[in-house]
C-alpha cells in the first residue's frame, strides 16, 4: 500500500439508449480525467446503456472474457495507464432474460482485477409515479468485494447498495479505505437522500467515498439526480460536479484515513 496522495476521478454523464454515444462520452471524460492526473477513474452505473430494459440484454457481455465494450476500456486503461472502475457493467446472466449489474475493476494493464455484482436490487414504486423493478431483468449478486488499487483497498458497491450500511461494515472489515458507489440515482430520491447517504457511509466507515453518477434525462420519464462527488473520511465533500457531464477529482490520502480513525476511533469501539 502506498502512502502517497493518489488522485482519483468520478465521472458524471447522461447515458441513453445510444451505445456508441455513451461509450464515446465515457472515453472522452476518462481521457480528460487522466490528463488531470487521475490514476483511477470510476464510471457511473449504466454507463454503456440507460434505456428501455430490453436494450441491456442485447449488449450484455460475459465476464471476465468480455466483448467489444470491455475490450474498449481494457485498451483505454492500457493506453492511459490508469485503473478503471466500470461502475455498472451489463454482464450476461444465467438465462437470456436476465443480466447482472457488475462493477468491474481494471488495472493499468487492462486486467480484470475484481468483479462485484450488485446485491441489493431497486424494486420501488415512488411517490412521483416512478416504478422501477430491477429484479425483473437483473440477477442479484451475493458476495462482497474489496480490491487492491494504486492507493490501497477499495470496497465495491453499486447505487441502491448505499442504503444498506451493513454492506459497508463488511468492506471496512476487509480493509477498505475507500468505497466506490457508482449510481443512477433517481431525481426524486436523489434530491432528498443522495448527499445524506453518501456522507453517512463515509463518516461511519471512516473511508473516502467515490460516487460517480448519472445526471439528466435518459428516456421516457427516467431522470437521474447527478451530483457526482467525492467525500473524505470525515464526511466532508471535497469535490462535486455541477450540471451536465464532467468529473469530480480529489486525492486519496492514507494519512487522512489514519487521522480520522485515530481521532475518533469508532471502528475500534464496535461491539456487534
- Assess contact for 87 and 117: CB atoms under 8 A: no
- Cα distance between residue 27 and residue 86, in whole Å: 11
- Spans of all domains in the chain: 6-263
Residue 79 is predicted with a pLDDT of 98
Residue 45 is predicted with a pLDDT of 98
- 118, 139, 150, 231: which is the annotated catalytic residue? 118
As a CATH number, domain 6-263 is: 3.60.110.10
Residue 170 is predicted with a pLDDT of 98
Residue 2 is predicted with a pLDDT of 47
- Assess contact for 119 and 142: CB atoms under 8 A: yes
The predicted-structure confidence for 204-258, as pLDDT tens digits, reads as follows 999 999 999 999 999 998 899 999 999 999 999 999 998 899 999 999 999 999 9
* DSSP calls for 47-102: SS--SSHHHHHHH-B-TTT--HHHHHHHHHHHHHT-EEEEEEEEEE-SSTT-EEEE
Secondary structure letter of residue 44 according to DSSP: P
136 SS3 class: helix
**Catalytic annotation on 118?**
yes
Residue spans of the chain under pLDDT 50: 1-2
- 46, 103, 150, 159: which is the annotated catalytic residue? 159
Strands 6-12 and 40-43: parallel
Residue 53 is predicted with a pLDDT of 85
Residue 3 is predicted with a pLDDT of 53
**Catalytic annotation on 109?**
no
Place of cell 436494450: 55
- 45, 61, 83, 91: which is the annotated catalytic residue? 45
**Catalytic annotation on 56?**
no
Amino acid at each position: 500500500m502506498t502512502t502517497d496522495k493518489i488522485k482519483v476521478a468520478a465521472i458524471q454523464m447522461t447515458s441513453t439508449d445510444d451505445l456508441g454515444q455513451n461509450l464515446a462520452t465515457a472515453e472522452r471524460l476518462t481521457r480528460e480525467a487522466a490528463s488531470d492526473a487521475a490514476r483511477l477513474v470510476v464510471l457511473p452505473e449504466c454507463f454503456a446503456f440507460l434505456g428501455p430494459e430490453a436494450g441491456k440484454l442485447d449488449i450484455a457481455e460475459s465476464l471476465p472474457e468480455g466483448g467489444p465494450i470491455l475490450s474498449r476500456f481494457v485498451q483505454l486503461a492500457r493506453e492511459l495507464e490508469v485503473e478503471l472502475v466500470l461502475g455498472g457493467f451489463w454482464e450476461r446472466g444465467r438465462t437470456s432474460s436476465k443480466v447482472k449489474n457488475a462493477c468491474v475493476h481494471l488495472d493499468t494493464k487492462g486486467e480484470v482485477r475484481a468483479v462485484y455484482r450488485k446485491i441489493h436490487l431497486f424494486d420501488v414504486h415512488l411517490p412521483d409515479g416512478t416504478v422501477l423493478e430491477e429484479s425483473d431483468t437483473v440477477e442479484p449478486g451475493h458476495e462482497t468485494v474489496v480490491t487492491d488499487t494504486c492507493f490501497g483497498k477499495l470496497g465495491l458497491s453499486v447505487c441502491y447498495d448505499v442504503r444498506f450500511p451493513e454492506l459497508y461494515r463488511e468492506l471496512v472489515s476487509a480493509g477498505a479505505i475507500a468505497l466506490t458507489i457508482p449510481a443512477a440515482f433517481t431525481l426524486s430520491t436523489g434530491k432528498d437522500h443522495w448527499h445524506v447517504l453518501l456522507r453517512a457511509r463515509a463518516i461511519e466507515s471512516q473511508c473516502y467515498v467515490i460516487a460517480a453518477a448519472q445526471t439528466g434525462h435518459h428516456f421516457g420519464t427516467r431522470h437521474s439526480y447527478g451530483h457526482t462527488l467525492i467525500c473524505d473520511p470525515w464526511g466532508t465533500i471535497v469535490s462535486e460536479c455541477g450540471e451536465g457531464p464532467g468529473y469530480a477529482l480529489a486525492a486519496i490520502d492514507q494519512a487522512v484515513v489514519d487521522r480520522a480513525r485515530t481521532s475518533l476511533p469508532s471502528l475500534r469501539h464496535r461491539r456487534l
